[in-house]
Amino acid sequence: MKRSIIILCLAVWSLGAITACSNGDKAAKSHQKKSKYTCTMHPDLSFDKPGVCSKCGMELVERDTTEN
């Protein structure tokens, strides 16, 4: 009887540890660096990829935005 309880407790504990590890990966990914690119002359415009401004043709600069 005691052996069954111990085995059951270990199984529940290991399942909880596995679940906690997988949730930690999601939390780490949510704090990854996301880059946006903007024009120095038109800061109201933002783009996902580097390139040139659609209004003036100037090269876009990277602006770091950390997502929480």
Residues with Cβ within 8 Å of residue 11, at least 6 apart in sequence: none
pTM across the whole model = 0.45
Q: What is the pLDDT of residue 27?
A: 54
Average pLDDT, the chain: 79
pLDDT recorded at residue 50: 92
Whole-angstrom Cα distance, residue 52 to residue 58? Answer: 5
Asked if the model's pLDDT at residue 8 lies above 80, the reply is yes
Per-residue pLDDT reduced to its tens digit, 21-54 = 665 555 555 555 678 999 999 999 999 999 999 9
DSSP the chain: -HHHHHHHHHHHHHHHHHHHHHHHHHHHHHT-EEEEEE-SS-TT-EESS--B-TTT-PBPEEEEEE--
